[in-house]
Structure formats: structure tokens, C-alpha cells
Amino acid sequence: MTICTQNRGCVFGEIIDGEMRLNGAGDMVERWWCELKNKFKNVELDRYVVMPNHFHGIVIIVGADLRVCSSMGKRTGLPLHRMVQWFKTMTTNEYIHGVKQNLNVPIDKRLWQRNYYEHIIRNEEDLNEIREYIITNPLKWAMDRENPNNCL
């Protein structure tokens, strides 16, 4: 999954020499990411990266049934959107608390954009490509479409 900050605000740190240097807000996002596996028992976490204004992470839903239920047209099991909603809520609440203590940069109404990007990983090759993308994302920041400097 990929979650972007509202208006691409770079609030989680900066890229220096191809390496992400998290600030306090970035550390907080990383901490809540690691808490997902404690909150949702059927979740395993894989590669992730906190970027200046977005987050990439691989969530493995253990025992997920990817078949569509014919009567309702929906997948069974815990929906990813509930995990994302919880993650966004926890990080937003803590971020706002940090703003009130002058630890975080003020934001305009929201920390995160309303939606998120998801991709169902169906095989080992796809998994390895996404892992590589996540690992190398800081190295490619100068060309990243989420980099506000590339939106001029």
C-alpha cells in the first residue's frame, strides 16, 4: 500500500545522500506501522519505507481468501481499508498532539490524503519487484512523482 500526505507536505524527514532521515514525525509513523501486527492478529508486515511525504508498506493478511463471495461480490476476511483507517487515525492523532507541543509542523486540516493506493501481490516475482521498489525508493527521490519539486 501507499499512503500520501495531504498536498504532498514533506513532514516526515528528508532524503540526504539517497537515504531517508526520519524526524520525530517519521519515527512516529514507523512506530505505528509496527503496531499494526499487534492490533490486527492476522497481519504480517514486510518491507516498508517512510518517505518525506508518503509511506509504502507491504501487508500480508494471513489466511486471506482472495476469492470473491458470489452472493455479495465482496472478498471475505479483514479488509485492508480498516487497517489503513486505523493507521491513519493513530498517526494523525499523534501528529496533531505533536503540533500542539510545537514538535511537528502545522498541517492544513489533514495529515493524509483521503485515499490510498493498493496492489494485490499475487506471486513471488511481483513481491520481489515491490520489495526492490520500496528499498530503493529513497535513492530515486529526485525523480519520484510524489516529490513536490517534480510537480512544478
Q: pTM for the full model?
A: 0.87
Domains in the chain: ranges and CATH: 2-138 (3.30.70.1290)
CB crowding 48-72: b at 16 or more within 10 Å, else e: bbbbbbbbbbbbebeebeeeeeeee
Task: Give the pLDDT score at 150.
Answer: 78
Residues 16-44 pLDDT 10s: 999 999 999 999 999 999 999 999 988 99
Task: Give the pLDDT score at 21.
Answer: 98
Cα–Cα distances (Å) from 148 to 8, 14, 36, 53, in that order, read 6, 12, 28, 9
Cell of 27: 519515527
End-to-end CA distance of the chain: 26
Reported confidence tier of residue 133, pLDDT bands at 50, 70, 90: very high
Task: Give the pLDDT score at 152.
Answer: 47
Reported confidence tier of residue 74, pLDDT bands at 50, 70, 90: low
Contact 19/51 with Cβ under 8 angstroms? Answer: no
